[in-house]
Structure 1
Amino acid sequence: MTVSGQCSPEFDDLRTEFEKNIASGEELGASVVVDIDGEVVVDLWGGFSDSERTRPWEADTITNVWSSTKTVTSLAVLMLVDRHQLDVRAPVAEYWPEFGANGKDRIELRHLLSHTSGVAGWEPPFTMDNLYDWDSASSHLAAQKPWWEPGRSSGYHAQNYGQLLGEVVRRVSGKSLAQFVADEIAGPLDADFQIGAHELDWPRIADVVPPPPLPFDLTALPEGNLMRKALGSPPLDAAAANTASWRRADLGAYNGHGNARSLARIMSVIPCGGSVDGVKLLSPATIELIFEEQSNGRDRVLGVPLRFGIGYGLPEPQTVPAIPDGRICFWGGWGGSMVVMDLDRRMTITYMMNKMGLGLLGSPRSEAYLRAVYQVIDA
């Protein structure tokens, strides 16, 4: 299976690494893009859309990108901040009054954006049916108590990030998160990205291939363990992403569908100063908010060191060693997808795939691609 697309000669090592992984089967199907100063210098895709290897990964293949979706969800919220419809230091209850119940009245919007709110998931029991019911899922969160003192430290909001922020978007804009992204981001930028997936697009979706099992059993952890509560309610099931119910849902934490090209098109707005091809989404002042550090230390849910600004992760050498220090923000998805926005170099790097690796943030494959890019840029 050959790799298609275009690649500037200086990035030949990246292409070689990508081709090697496709040829060996380490990748099933994938895409990778590098955008520098608004110019796409790498746009590669290859492999297969299905585990039976009967459908090639095409230029317009899309897949479920897991938590790389959060990069777009955060952008949607920051756009409303930029329009002065939201204030990152205002209590969430100012926009969503029911959320102020049970000691959450002082939780600020920035705490949701930085995973420091203490509301890192749904209190069990909570089912997939609850997840797919927007009003039910929001009501559950509004009624809960925080799991720790808000603003003190991060605890990755793995499954409910899109519900928390999406409800704020809905209350302020009058649009669902999925509709806001369609109307205000993907549409104006002509980017092939959506939260959920329209049924007419299902034939070109590359089904995800679940990762190897976690090296431990979540259900064996104590009932009050934050990893168990955040990741196990409802239980994480990669195969759910291939179902009709998942694709019809509005899950801004992890059911975005796109590819490396569409994520790079959207997220390059941050390294490029707020505009892409004349379409302005953010001001420089709002972009600066991203780099106001909100937490720095061991994440209460993932158990690894993480740094969060407002809406995005910031470089953390122990956990994401392939991302250098500097004015860089990023996030990735379960199984290895990755979005890196490097403002120092006005560069965006995106990688999306269907064969999931082990790990909730990055993978050996994504790390190798990032290193190949930075070896060129920093040479």
Structure 2
Amino acid sequence: MDVNGAVAAGFEPVREAFVRNFEVLGDRGAAVTVYRDGRRVVDLWGGSRDVDGGAPWERDTAQIVRSATKGVAAAVLLLLVQRGELDPDAPVGAYWPEYKAAGKERTVVRDLLAHRAGVPVLDRPLTPAEAADPELGAAAVAAQTPVWEPGTDHGYHAQTYSWLTGELVRRVTGRTIGAWIAEEIAGPVGAQLWLGLPAEQAARVGRVGQVETPAQAGALRTRPKRAVADAYADPASLTRRAFAAITPMPDENDPAYRAAALPASNGIATADGLARFYASLIGGVDGGTRLFTPETVELARGERSAGADRVLVVQTRFGLGYMLHGAASPLLSPTSFGHPGRGGALGFADPESGIAFGYVTNGFRSSVTADPRAQALVRAVRTAIVG
């Protein structure tokens, strides 16, 4: 397998793991980037740009990163808190009056970020075209009756996170969340990531698709617990209903879908863009902009939800907008915070070691929070820094 790019001395295990992902774990096309203390120490890419094609992956190839987008969206809200424009303890209805409907008047901003809002499902799912309309999506979630009392429990808001965060940002700033990310995050830190893909960037984005796990990889994976499998199979479960808040599932290769701005699911990034974003949260990148103050880092990684997740049916941990290191989503260490994308992508920062990590792929798997390819790379990073 021809792998392009470079690793700094000591990070050779990451190259070895990346090659093995193609040879054993069935990657078709992928890239991984790692920063340490704001300096790029891993920058690798290989395979084909399209999951079903032969054109080579280039250094600036970008892919849809699914729920890894949630970590970028969370940064918008936390930066608004950092700037004093948003109070995490204020009722959502103070900024978005329509949200007070159907028993949600006591929901606070922290609840949205920590997946405690109680609205992971929509009684009437939206079509892909409806979901792309931010006003329609916001109206649907504002009218939704919670399935548990907000603030009392947690469950992954797989799709509704889009309209919860997007509308709150619009009400506070007057800008769309995609524009805010472009102007206040991606631009200042030089990160190649987009929410609402501009037409001029479309040619660099590869085709994605579902890929079968090879037998060799299957032998290395832990089989899901029966309760998890049953939840995904049951159309009436919160699990199925949460992921089906948009029905049918959008075509992720459709230019119209990529041009929409769904903060829960359709951000597009290069591996370097994802890693550079996380590096900028915990320090200056190449001597440049740092986005989060130390106090905001603590908001991001301070545990707000933990235990049995009512949607994912596993033990999950969340800070404000970020998944935290744990059995369901292993990151680098207990200080790490970040977000996976279902079936592939992963981005996170680890303040203790100064590591920021980004992995993107064009081949999605059935895993939700702990893709074996991303996990192999994380373990290799850990080996590199521990020695």
TM-score range, shorter chain: over 0.9
One-letter amino acid matched to 1:282:
F
Paired position in structure 2 for 1:208: 208
Alignment partner of 1:364 out of 363, 368, 372: 372
Q: CA deviation at 1:360?
A: 1.3
Task: Report the more deviating stretch, 32-41 or 285-294.
Answer: 285-294
Q: Shift of the alpha carbon at 1:336?
A: 1.8
Cα distance in structure 2, aligned partners of 1:188 and 1:13 = 32
CA–CA distance in structure 2, aligned partners of residues 378 and 83 of structure 1: 36
Cα deviation 1:209-239 (Å, max 9, x = unaligned): 124599968785253x2112101122363x6
Q: 1:355 and 2:363 equivalent?
A: yes
Deviation at 1:25, TM superposition (A): 7.2
**Contact (CA 8 Å) 2:29, 2:51: kept in 1 or not?**
no
1:8 CA drift (Å) = 1.4
Decide whether the 8 Å contact of 1:275 with 1:282 is kept in 2.
no
What CA distance in whole angstroms lies between the structure 2 residues aligned with 1:291 and 1:182?
A: 24
Partner SS state of residue 147, structure 1: coil
1:114-170 Cα offsets, whole Å, 9 max, x none, are: 111101132224222221111111100111111111122221011121211111111
1:314-349 deviations in Å (ceiling 9; x for gaps): 121x2234x354321121001121112101111111
- Alignment partners' CA distance in 2, 1:80 and 1:164: 15
Q: Is the 8 A contact 1:208 1:241 kept in 2?
A: yes
> Offset at 1:305?
0.4
Relative to structure 1, the CA distance from residue 6 to residue 165 in structure 2 (aligned partners, 3 Å threshold; closer, same or farther) is same
Structure 1 residue 281 and structure 2 residue 291: aligned?
yes
1:226 to 227, 230, 238: 238
Q: Which residue of 2 aligns with 1:319?
A: 328
8 Å Cα contact 2:96/2:168 also seen in 1:
yes
CA distance in 2, matches of 1:71, 1:276: 22
Which of these residues, 340, 343, 346, is aligned with residue 335 of structure 1? Answer: 343
Contact 2:343 2:371 in 1 (8 A): yes
Aligned ranges for residues 140-155 of structure 1 at < 5 Å?
A: 140-155=140-155
RMSD: 2.1
What is the alpha-carbon distance in structure 2 between the residues aligned to residue 71 and residue 148 of structure 1?
A: 24
Amino acid at match of 1:252: P
Note the C-alpha offset of 1:292.
2.7
Letter of the 2:307 counterpart: G
Cα deviation, residue 276, structure 1: 6.7
Which one of 308, 323, 334 corresponds to residue 318 of structure 2?
A: 308
Residue deviations 1:355-374, cap 9 Å, x none? 11221113111111111110
- Name the CA distance, whole Å, in 1 between partners of 2:308 and 2:21: 32
Provide the residue aligned with 1:137 in structure 2.
137
3-state SS, counterpart of residue 273 of structure 2: helix
> How far, CA to CA, are the matches of 1:56 and 1:100 in structure 2?
50
Q: TM-score, normalised by structure 1?
A: 0.93
SS of aligned partner of 2:102: coil
- What amino acid is aligned across from residue 93 of structure 2 in structure 1? A
Structure 1 residues 309 and 63: CA distance shift in structure 2, 3 A: same
What secondary structure is seen at the aligned counterpart in 1 of 2:360?
strand
Q: Who is 1:6 aligned against?
A: 6
Q: C-alpha separation between the residues in 2 aligned to 1:222 and 1:253?
A: 21
**Poorly superposed stretches of 4+, deviation over 3 Å:** 211-220, 274-278
Q: CA deviation at 1:259?
A: 1.3
Do 1:119 and 1:157's aligned partners in 2 also have CA atoms closer than 8 Å? yes
**Structure 1, 335-344 or 227-236: larger mean CA deviation:** 227-236
- Equivalent position SS for 1:58: coil
Q: Distance in 1 between matches of 2:307 and 2:31?
A: 32
Contact in 2 for aligned 1:268/1:276 (Cα 8 Å): no
Name the structure 1 match of 2:79: 79
Offset from partner CA, 1:33-70 (integer Å, 9 cap, x none): 11100000001111101234321110110010111111
- Once the two structures are superposed, the pairs formed by residues 256-267 of structure 1 within 5 Å of their partners are 256-267=267-278
Question: Is contact 1:326-1:344 (8 Å) kept?
Answer: no
Aligned length: 374
Tell me the percent identity: 38
TM-score normalized with structure 2 length:
0.91
- Which residue of 1 is the match for residue 308 of structure 2? 298
- Paired residue type of 1:221: D
Unaligned runs of 5+ in 2: 214-223
Distance 1:234 1:114, change over 3 A: same
Q: 1:270 aligns with which of 281, 286, 290?
A: 281
| Separation of aligned partners in 2, 1:147 and 1:276 | 46
- The answer to which of 283-292 and 169-178 deviates more is 283-292
Q: Partners in 2 of 1:19 and 1:236 — Cα distance?
A: 35
> Which segment drifts farther, 332-341 or 16-25?
16-25
2:129 aligned with 1:120, yes or no?
Answer: no
